[in-house]
Amino acid sequence: MSGEIPFRVGHSFDVHAFSDDPARALVLGGVTFPGERGLVGHSDADVVAHACIDALLGAAGMGDIGMMFPDADPAMAGADSVELLRRASAAARGNGWRLANIACTVVLDRPRLIDVKDQMEANLGAAAGAPVTVSGRRTEGVGSLGRGEGVVAWAVALVAR
């Protein structure tokens, strides 16, 4: 349509509680953290990838992660969230949108992300087909996150026609 703005921004938030299941792996940005408590979720519960997916889908006007990958779908059980990001990005491209970038902020005290941040960005960027930046923030012990109850991630995505 003429007059359509060629850029759109999507913003998202995701949160997952830590699991008490000792067999549940912690996966953030496609990186597995051995020895750390995993997160509760139907898929691999990768809160970082989920926030990126929701930001991308919102920017493209394509709903949200629950619409594209419903947690009531048995096929989504244990799904690799980085692969879901790849599929969401392909769907956005199919709708005429090109992802320019995603920026994601993760809030948690443990584990520290500094040693794997580059790998997280590489995993997410390869799946998304565009640069993804990840920044970690600590809670300094404040609130439910400071008590180690879960992990939160926010993301912003920019798409262009």
Structure tokens at 146: 């400071």
CA distance 37 to 74: 23
What local confidence, expressed as pLDDT, does residue 142 receive?
A: 83
Residue 150 pairs with which residues in a beta bridge? 17
Task: Grade residue 140 by pLDDT with cuts at 50, 70 and 90.
Answer: confident
CA distance 121 to 131: 8
Task: Grade residue 132 by pLDDT with cuts at 50, 70 and 90.
Answer: very high
Task: Grade residue 141 by pLDDT with cuts at 50, 70 and 90.
Answer: confident
Domains of the chain: 8-160 (3.30.1330.50)
What local confidence, expressed as pLDDT, does residue 131 receive?
A: 98
Structure tokens at 133: 């930046």
What local confidence, expressed as pLDDT, does residue 2 receive?
A: 60
pTM: 0.95
Instruction: Check whether 17 has a pLDDT greater than 80.
Output: yes
Mean pLDDT of 51-64: 98
What local confidence, expressed as pLDDT, does residue 67 receive?
A: 96
- What is the overall mean pLDDT for the chain? 95
Task: Grade residue 122 by pLDDT with cuts at 50, 70 and 90.
Answer: very high
43-82: b (≥16 Cβ within 10 Å) or e? bbbbbbbbbbbbbbbbbbebebbeebbeeeeeebeebebb
What local confidence, expressed as pLDDT, does residue 4 receive?
A: 79
Residue 9 pairs with which residues in a beta bridge? 158
pLDDT digits (tens, 9 = 90+) for 61-89: 999 999 999 999 999 999 999 999 999 99
